[in-house]
Amino acid sequence: GAGVSQSPSNKVTEKGKDVELRCDPISGHTALYWYRQRLGQGLEFLIYFQGNSAPDKSGLPSDRFSAERTGESVSTLTIQRTQQEDSAVYLCASSQGTQETQYFGPGTRLLVL
């Protein structure tokens, strides 16, 4: 079946603008994760959703970052008042359950000018 999809694949924005990044998990996957990958670095955990449980937001770097998920489907990561340090690849992953392997989407490459 289809893998995790993300849109847009690339986003260029001006400092101070808001951006929305979208993730479509694999159908049937209950857990969804957002990670950030800065240039030349590993991935940093941002936020985790599991079913109807309260999300784990412990990795969000500031209150400019927020995310929502509708049921067990699409998730949106929103960055308000973007800063240049927000430039990175934002990766979404989903898993069938919390203890299963996470499968990643292709990412959204965000550039803040």
- List of residues contacting other proteins (CB under 8 A): 4, 31, 33, 35, 40-45, 48, 50, 56, 58-59, 91, 93, 95, 98-99, 101-107
Judged by CB, which is closer to other proteins: 13, or 96?
A: 96
Q: Are 36 and 46 in contact (CB under 8 A)?
A: yes
Query: DSSP 3-state assignment of 97?
Result: coil
| In the complex, least distance from residue 51 CB atom to other proteins, rounded to whole angstroms | 13
Contact 94, 1 (CB under 8 A): no
Shortest Å, Cβ 46 to other proteins: 9
The C-alpha torsion from 104 through 37 and 11 to 62, rounded to 10°, is 110
Q: In angstroms, what is the minimal distance from the CB of 81 to other proteins?
A: 26
Q: Which is nearer to other proteins, 16 or 51 (CB)?
A: 51
Q: How far is the CB of 105 from other proteins (least distance, A)?
A: 5
Q: Are 31 and 48 in contact (CB under 8 A)?
A: yes
